[in-house]
Amino acid sequence: MANIDDVAKLANVSIATVSRVFNNSPYVSEKAKANVLKVAKDLGYEPSILARSLAMKKTNTIGLIVPDISNPYYGGVVRGIEDVCNLYKYNIILCNTDNSKDKEIQYINMLKSRWVDGIIFHSSYLSDEVYKIFVDSRIPFVLAGRGTKYDVPYVVIDNKKAAYDATEYLISMGHKNIGIIHGPLEGMRETVDSVDRLMGYKEAMKKNGLEICDELIREANFKAKSGYDATLEMLKSGILPDAVFAISDIMAMGAINAIFDFGLKCPEDVSVIGFDNIDISEITRPSLTTVAQPMYDTGATAAKMLIKIIGNEILDKKNIILKHNIVIRNSCCKFKNF
Amino acid sequence: MANIDDVAKLANVSIATVSRVFNNSPYVSEKAKANVLKVAKDLGYEPSILARSLAMKKTNTIGLIVPDISNPYYGGVVRGIEDVCNLYKYNIILCNTDNSKDKEIQYINMLKSRWVDGIIFHSSYLSDEVYKIFVDSRIPFVLAGRGTKYDVPYVVIDNKKAAYDATEYLISMGHKNIGIIHGPLEGMRETVDSVDRLMGYKEAMKKNGLEICDELIREANFKAKSGYDATLEMLKSGILPDAVFAISDIMAMGAINAIFDFGLKCPEDVSVIGFDNIDISEITRPSLTTVAQPMYDTGATAAKMLIKIIGNEILDKKNIILKHNIVIRNSCCKFKNF
DNA sequence: GTGAAAGCGCTAACAG
DNA sequence: CTGTTAGCGCTTTCAC
pLDDT tens-digit readout, B17-64 = 999 999 999 989 999 999 999 999 999 999 999 999 999 999 999 999
Count each helix (H run) and each strand (E run) in chain B, helices first.
Answer: 12, 12
Is the predicted pLDDT of residue A136 greater than 80, yes or no?
Answer: yes
Is the predicted pLDDT of residue A190 greater than 70, yes or no?
Answer: no
Distance B56 CA to C6 C1' (A): 14
Residues A142 and B85: their CA atoms lie apart, in Å, by 25
A91 closest CB neighbour out of B69, B75, B93: B93
Is the predicted pLDDT of residue B191 greater than 90, yes or no?
Answer: no
Nearest CA in chain B to A253: B283
Is the predicted pLDDT of residue A10 greater than 70, yes or no?
Answer: yes
Distance of alpha carbon A69 from the chain centroid: 10
Written as one letter, the residue type at B33 is K
Distance B58 CA to C8 C1' (A): 11
Which pLDDT value is given to residue B29?
94
DSSP A252-292: HHHHHHHHHHTT--TTTTSEEEEEE--GGGGTSSSPPEEEE
Residues B162 and B176: their CA atoms lie apart, in Å, by 19
Task: Give me the mean pLDDT over the B116-145 stretch.
Answer: 95
* Chain A residues touching B295 at Cβ < 8 A: 70
Cβ–Cβ under 8 Å, residues B262 and B247: no
How are beta strands A61-66 and A118-121 bridged, if at all?
Answer: parallel
| Cβ of B223 less than 7 A from strand D | no
Which pLDDT value is given to residue A188?
64
Residues A272 and A256: their CA atoms lie apart, in Å, by 7
B285 closest CB neighbour out of A79, A93, A257: A257
To the nearest whole Å, the CA of B140 is away from the closest chain A CA by 14
Neighbouring C-alpha atoms within 13 Å toward the C-beta of A77: 29
| Cβ of B3 less than 7 A from strand D | yes
C-beta neighbour count of A149 within 10 angstroms: 8
B79 closest CB neighbour out of A48, A68, A260: A68
pLDDT tens-digit readout, A56-104 = 999 999 999 999 999 889 999 999 999 999 999 999 999 999 999 999 9
Mean of per-residue pLDDT scores for chain B: 95
Q: Does A50 touch chain B (CB under 8 A)?
A: yes
* Chain A residues touching B299 at Cβ < 8 A: none
B94 closest CB neighbour out of A49, A82, A260: A82
Mean of per-residue pLDDT scores for chain A: 95
Burial of A291 (0-12, 13-18, 19+ CB in 10 A): buried
* Chain A residues touching B115 at Cβ < 8 A: 48-50
Beta carbons within 8 Å of A60's beta carbon, 6+ residues apart: A49, A53, A89, A90, A91, A117
| Cβ of A52 less than 7 A from strand C | yes
What percent of chain A has pLDDT above 70? 99
Distance A85 CA to D12 C1' (A): 37
Task: Give me the mean pLDDT over the B279-295 stretch.
Answer: 94
Distance B122 CA to C7 C1' (A): 37
Beta carbons within 8 Å of B115's beta carbon, 6+ residues apart: A48, A49, A50, B53, B57, B59, B61
Q: Does A54 touch chain B (CB under 8 A)?
A: yes
pLDDT-based confidence at B189, cuts 50/70/90? low
Q: What pairs with residue A245 in β-bridges?
A: A180, A273
Nearest CA in chain B to A72: B72
Tally A–B CB contacts below 8 A. Answer: 137
Portion 74-133 of B in contact with A at CB < 8 A: 74-76, 78-79, 82-83, 86, 91-96, 109-110, 112-115
Is the predicted pLDDT of residue A319 greater than 80, yes or no?
Answer: yes
Task: Give me the mean pLDDT over the B81-107 stretch.
Answer: 97
* Chain B residues touching A54 at Cβ < 8 A: 48, 50-51, 54
pLDDT-based confidence at A337, cuts 50/70/90? confident
Task: Give me the mean pLDDT over the A3-10 stretch.
Answer: 95
Residues A283 and B254: their CA atoms lie apart, in Å, by 7
What does pTM read for this prediction?
Answer: 0.93
Cβ–Cβ under 8 Å, residues B246 and B227: yes
Cβ–Cβ under 8 Å, residues B59 and B116: yes
What percent of chain B has pLDDT above 70? 99
* Chain B residues touching A61 at Cβ < 8 A: 93
Which pLDDT value is given to residue B115?
98
Residues B332 and B170: their CA atoms lie apart, in Å, by 8
Distance A159 CA to D16 C1' (A): 68
pLDDT tens-digit readout, B149-188 = 999 999 999 999 999 999 999 999 999 999 999 999 987 6
Among A254, A124, A253, residue whose Cα is nearest residue A193: A124
User: Is there a cis peptide before residue B267, judged by omega within 30 degrees of 0?
Assistant: yes
C-beta neighbour count of A233 within 10 angstroms: 13
Task: Give me the mean pLDDT over the A176-195 stretch.
Answer: 88
Q: What pairs with residue A92 in β-bridges?
A: A62, B94
pLDDT tens-digit readout, B310-326 = 999 999 999 999 999 99
Which pLDDT value is given to residue A189?
58
Closest residue by C-alpha to C1' distance, nucleotide D5? A16
Distance A50 CA to C11 C1' (A): 12
C-beta neighbour count of B89 within 10 angstroms: 9
Q: Does B177 touch chain A (CB under 8 A)?
A: no
Distance A82 CA to D1 C1' (A): 39
Q: Max CA-CA distance within chain A?
A: 89
pLDDT-based confidence at A296, cuts 50/70/90? very high
Among A322, A250, A256, A225, residue whose Cα is nearest residue A71: A250
Is the predicted pLDDT of residue B190 greater than 90, yes or no?
Answer: no
Lookup: nucleotide whose C1' is closest to A52 CA = C10
Is the predicted pLDDT of residue A279 greater than 90, yes or no?
Answer: no
pLDDT-based confidence at A257, cuts 50/70/90? very high
* Chain A residues touching B64 at Cβ < 8 A: 94
| Cβ of B49 less than 7 A from strand C | no
Residues A281 and A327: their CA atoms lie apart, in Å, by 10
Written as one letter, the residue type at A278 is I
Q: Does B51 touch chain A (CB under 8 A)?
A: yes
Lookup: nucleotide whose C1' is closest to A14 CA = D3
Nucleotides of C strand lying within 7 Å of any protein CB atom: 1-5, 7-13
Which pLDDT value is given to residue B186?
86
